Amino acid sequence: MAKSKTIITCAVTGSIHTPTMSDHLPLSQNDIAEQAIAAAEAGASILHLHTRDPEDFRPSVDPDHYAPILSRVKQSTNAVLNITTGGAPTMRISERIEAATRFSPEMCSLNMGSMNFAFHGLADRYDTWKYDWEKDYIQGSEANIFRNTFADIRQAAETLGPHDIKFEHECYDVGHLYNLKHCMKIGLFKAPVFIQFIFGILGGIGPEVDNLIFMKRTADRLFGDDYRWSVLGAGGAQMPLATTASQMGGNVRVGLEDSLFINRRELATSNAQQVAKIRRIVEDLGNEVATPDEAREILALKGGDRVAF
């Protein structure tokens, strides 16, 4: 019997984590590129990328802040590059899709519904901050609604559709699966869709295995054979849920965007360290890790020769 191929996505740096929380989080364009390249060398076939303002490391979606990262990583790896259209909850969809419109990557993330997206509790864990924007940014998330209306989703789909970009449909709760089904029915997305089940974000579904089984069963009913899937567990749920997903036939996502840790109470020193750990687990349990070209075939991607960077 042929071994299953597991796609590893690495989310290299995110819009939520701030410099105070870990000195290992890449912030500069140079550090993001270096950690992305190392993650690909460790076994990640897809690199999910956010960027930062180089002046004060605020979350950014400015295409000029992406440009040096994309060109360098593309020159150094064969990995699939996946640009966020999530950005940060404080940003408009028109801002969040600008980089993807300019660079026409193989993949983009796309959130499939509006939600409370809160991480304000993190502010209580720190007494000092490296930058003056950090504390207010985190505390302010208590009042955030992460807007992803049907109109926003349509705007992203219709703007980026001509670029033949495959979306990583980020589903934080079961209702988001029904939103995606509706969008497929009206022709915004074509099969096979790629769904990222996300667990453990305050405002979304919790990180229990029962919830993973429920989300998977719901997706099977809604999409049949017309989807591929992966799992993102936030924080301490990262490795346990990724391990479970790999044994259920799914793909996995790790990276410092989703968890700053490698073990309980032990900060990860890099994205590559997390990739290497989940790769070892996946292979020890009998599966093979997909190469970038195998990931392209599994997900029906357009290919790295058709991007604009």
- Would you say residue 1 has pLDDT above 80? no
- Would you say residue 172 has pLDDT above 80? yes
Q: What's the average model confidence in pLDDT over 66-94?
A: 96
Q: What is the DSSP string of 55-96?
A: TT--EE--HHHHHHHHHHHHHH--PEEEE-S---TTS-HHHH
Instruction: Please indicate, yes or no, whether the overall pTM of this predicted structure exceeds 0.95.
Output: yes
pLDDT tens digits along 204-252: 999 999 999 999 999 999 999 999 999 999 999 999 999 999 999 999 9
- Would you say residue 117 has pLDDT above 70? yes
- Residue 162, domain extent: 5-306
Q: How many domains are there within the chain?
A: 1
pLDDT at 83: 98
- Would you say residue 2 has pLDDT above 70? no
pLDDT at 54: 96
Q: What's the average model confidence in pLDDT over 180-185?
A: 98
pLDDT at 157: 98
- Would you say residue 163 has pLDDT above 80? yes
Q: Residue 192: is the preceding peptide bond cis (ω within 30°)?
A: yes
- Would you say residue 77 has pLDDT above 80? yes
Q: What's the average model confidence in pLDDT over 145-163?
A: 97
Q: What's the average model confidence in pLDDT over 286-291?
A: 97
Could you give the CA distance from residue 37 to residue 44 in angstroms, rounded to a whole number?
Answer: 9
75 CB contacts (<8 Å, ≥6 apart)? Answer: none
| Domain CATH code at residue 278 | 3.20.20.70
pLDDT tens digits along 54-74: 999 999 999 999 999 999 999
pLDDT at 4: 78
- Model confidence at 3, pLDDT cuts 50, 70, 90, reads low
pLDDT at 300: 97
The proportion of the chain whose per-residue pLDDT surpasses 70, expressed as a percent, equals: 99
Burial status of residue 237 (CB atoms within 10 A of its CB: 0-12, 13-18, 19 or more): buried
Q: Are the CB atoms for 282 and 290 separated by under 8 Å?
A: no
